[in-house]
Structure 1
Amino acid sequence: MQNAFGAHLDLAVVMGLAMLMVLACPVAEAREDDICRLFSNGTVIRDPDSCSQYITCINFVSIYGSCSGSTPFFDKEKGACAKTLADDSSCAVSCVNATSQFVADPKSCYGYYYCLDQETPMFGTCPQETHFNATTQTCTRLYESECTASDFEYCNIVKNNVNFDNLQSCANYHVCEKGVLKTKTCSSQYYEASTGACVAKSQVNCVAHPLPSNVCGKDSKPYANKFVSDAATCRGYFFCAAMPDNTPDRNPTWNHCPQDTFFDASTETCRSPNLVKCTEDRCDGRSLPFVLSNTKGCRNYLRCSEGITLDEMSCGNLFFDEAKGGCVHNVVSYSICT
């Protein structure tokens, strides 16, 4: 029997079975749950559905390839096709005891397999904005998702010592060391999936900000319905809801202030940036190309580009007037730089 791992599920077969509400073949566009959203550009991993296939990550999109001929297997450590593999135990999706049923794709939330028999899984994908639900055997809306793709054994397909994103925290990333998944943390920075490196927090578009220590108070004195700084950006904050058991909120909601405003923890409001002392990137969310620095003296300013500080400049003996966008003789005084 021809190996069917990685084959696309025939839409007509599925519609005839009427077990899934809508099916669609994958297209070459980034999806929020494509496995390549975790990897830097050009990373090559083994396709978990087959020992003979591999995935190249291009701009967070999975591009599939396969090995054949005298080198029919893909070796994840060598990143190349090989004659044999030392271990092929993790090379296939199991259809054991699942004949004529659908099983979840281990590497994504929207993928699934239809088991023609106990040896032949055929691949298919759910439409945009839906996930596969193994319990109901259908593609369901995201809020009904039971996706467990995060439980996937990545070290079966990823080369050792290759960094990849940990979606649970902006500051964390994963790496396989001798086949064991490890979690690493960027010190005072955030992990950038596109480059596979730790960079300035302002360069990473991420809402999974790590919770500051005792963000919602201590067990002896929890915060109730209080807004607190996210300690990572000038605009971001957490909302600590009152808990029924009078304990700190363990999962506070993150949000951020509108453009050209910063979060002020003392008033729990969004205010003009020049009224808020913030040591994070003060170009975050600013529409002006030059903004006042919080360096003492009110003589320095920041050059901004797309919400990120390029550098800090000085007016020398003059003062920086943000409204005029330049250095002036008149004394300029704000609490953030006095």
Structure 2
Amino acid sequence: MKEVQAFKFTASLVLVICGALLPHAYALEMEDLCKYWNGNGYVGNPSNCHDWGYCQGNSLVAWGSCDGTLVFNSPTSMCEYATNTTCYTNITESCSISSSAWYAPVTSNCSQYAYCNGQGTILYGECPKGQVFLNSPQPTCVWGPCPQDDICAFIPNNQYVGDPANCGGYLLCSNGIGIAGTCTASDSGQTRYFDYTLGGCTTTYPSVCGDSGNAGDDDTDDETTTPAPVTCTAEGYKDDGVTCYGYAYCAAASGNSKWGKCPFGLDFDPTSQECVSPASYACAATRNRCKNTNMVYATVTGTSCKQYTYCPNLGVGTCPSNYPYFDEVGGNCVQNKPSYAICGTS
């Protein structure tokens, strides 16, 4: 994988979300952090820089706040002075009192990053189109899926957690950054999966994958490998031909494409060449619209929003005649047809 360090700074104190890769966020709460981590210990609060929680047995069992103006440092699990602790929950607050310079990922956008100059000023930058920001071991822009995950910004250092975007995979949390990985095969050659309720690898596909917050990532379909590259004829993004959320990126008008995927919760729209809300793009009916989302119910493409898929088992249902339309965003059957693109124009 070629790494390209091509930073573009814009002197601004207001972050504007734009570009091809749109927000990457899970709206995590401390209960979610504990669910994906089998260890015992302290986690940060995604809502603010000062609170903490205590996890035990995949559950949140206690919570509290640091004294005074101290900030909770998730990687070290300690309350520390704000002058030497970076809080990704509030980068502006951290930078305003920091005396040293540092980079930080913008957790709502995989391709953007922030630079604090150590004098209270934040500069925001964005990687070249198609690349994502990697903050470890040194700030750089790389090709490929998003390397950081919100969950590791609040987990102690050197801990393994379940990957919310890839059930059966794991994240190694290192200095607030999630390094994605999968289990190696067993000695007998059997495929192994990471089960976050056990905190380790097992040859049994985790039962939690049906309702783990990524309901579509179960073993009911065959999206188990990265789609094959396509032959490039022009620079830009293409539909990967397999998934709703993946894309093939061509850096030139020749050679093979590089595969990437949209942030969790988004689908790739080949027309706009952007990652968009699943409801705003009618992905092909032959593909699994539950994948890469936390949807429990997903509209069936081509049914004018009159049918839906139950993501845990991919069963198809139909709304009753008195409430004939399925509202994917609201998650219920309604009387009037929603205006989402997934519902069609008829």
TM value normalised by structure 1 = 0.37
Higher relative contact order (CA 8 A, sep 6+): 2
TM value normalised by structure 2 = 0.36
